[in-house]
């Protein structure tokens, strides 16, 4: 499965505030986004992230996988992560 590289200078607050110090850009993540981003920072791959989220949230796997893919695409679009 795919793992992700998250720049070490990125951090997300408990409220979902994500700040990119190199560009000054800010983003706001929802609860699910915070969980995904923190798992990525810990080095979890796609399968590990999906499994952890299915345990934590009341969501079906198909919906979660779609939302996860959309979120990953947005993070890549803004150069916030890279696939390893």
Residue 37: give its domain's CATH number: 1.10.10
> Per residue in 32-62, pLDDT tens?
999 999 999 999 999 999 999 999 999 999 9
CA distance 81 to 79: 6
Please give the pLDDT value at position 51: 97
Please give the pLDDT value at position 70: 97
Count of the separate structural domains present in the chain: 1
> Is 12:29 a contact under the CB 8 Å cutoff?
yes
Range of 65's domain?
Answer: 4-83
CA distance 78 to 62: 25
> Per residue in 7-19, pLDDT tens?
999 989 999 999 9
């Amino acid at each position: 499965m795919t793992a992700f590289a998250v720049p070490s200078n990125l951090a997300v607050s408990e409220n979902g505030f994500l700040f990119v110090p190199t560009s000054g850009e800010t983003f706001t993540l929802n609860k699910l986004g915070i969980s995904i981003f923190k798992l990525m920072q810990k080095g979890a791959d796609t399968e590990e992230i999906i499994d952890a989220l299915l345990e934590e949230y009341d969501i079906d796997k198909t919906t979660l996988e779609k939302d996860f893919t959309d979120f990953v695409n947005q993070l890549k679009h803004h150069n916030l992560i890279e696939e390893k």
